[in-house]
Amino acid sequence: MKRLYSWNVNGLRACMNKGFRDFLEREDPDVLCLQETKMQPEQADFEFPGYHLYWNSAVKKGYSGTLVLTKEKPLSVINDLGLDRHNTEGRTITLEYLEHYLVNVYVPNAQNELARLGYRMQWEDDFRGYLGRLKEKKPVIVTGDFNVAKEEIDLKNPQNNRRNAGFSDEERGKMRELLASGFVDSFRYLYPDQENAYSWWSYRFKARERNAGWRIDYFLVSAGYEGQIEDSRILADQTGSDHCPVELILKS
């Protein structure tokens, strides 16, 4: 079996002091996709023996950024979407393996009062087109922080969040469009009715203690690739960030 993990660490250097290395040693992932690293590669004063590291950092220091740790060296690596308007925030890394592409993504946040919703909508369309072109070549696995809870079951208080970033009709619509273009939400594929399954909690109001969270971190697989899914898990007990890791286990 192949074990793939994704985790928005909300600052990798901070997370390193909150149990990250223990997590890495215990889970021993084949691939680990990180989002919101908030650092440049040259700032790393740590190593991860046994892993190849692929960085895509934002131009702006201390902001956004993605990183992939992989035991198996990929055939190729692509940063960003090939469009100038999206190439400064370090939001995607694509690794090509023999069997599939793996895309690590940190989707832009629409921000308070949906101030960045227009950009987010453009990004969603461009990202969906990019994935569609990859999917024509071989199966695609997409993972990361999608910054949207797709359905009411995916957050604790849907009624109070209808016009908030991450649960606006527009963002949810784009997520549905992405799935309709030929992707399957691996967790809901296996657990369609499971409630109280969340991957992000606000630091405010003791949200994590009360499990008042949102499921905004996903593993999507190309339609037709579902047969490779052994399990899809949310590691809600893992602390160190306001997100917890999610895992996709593929059959051998």
Selection from 216, 244, 247 nearest residue 229 by Cα = 247
**CA 185 vs CA 34, 130, 135, 145: distances in Å:** 19, 18, 16, 13
**CA 68 vs CA 50, 156, 159, 162, 187: distances in Å:** 13, 30, 36, 33, 21
User: Choosing from 5, 101, 145, 185, which is the catalytic residue?
Assistant: 145
Selection from 216, 186, 242, 1 nearest residue 106 by Cα = 216
- What is the C-alpha separation between 94 and 81, in angstroms, rounded? 9
Instruction: Say which residues have a Cβ less than 8 Å from residue 137's Cβ, sequence separation at least 6.
Output: 101
Phi, psi at 95, each rounded to 5°:
-110, 130
User: Choosing from 5, 97, 101, 106, which is the catalytic residue?
Assistant: 106
Answer yes or no: 5 catalytic.
no
Provide the angle, in degrees to the nearest 10, between the axes of the packed helices 117-135 and 169-180: 10
Answer yes or no: 22 catalytic.
no
Enumerate the active-site residues: 106, 145
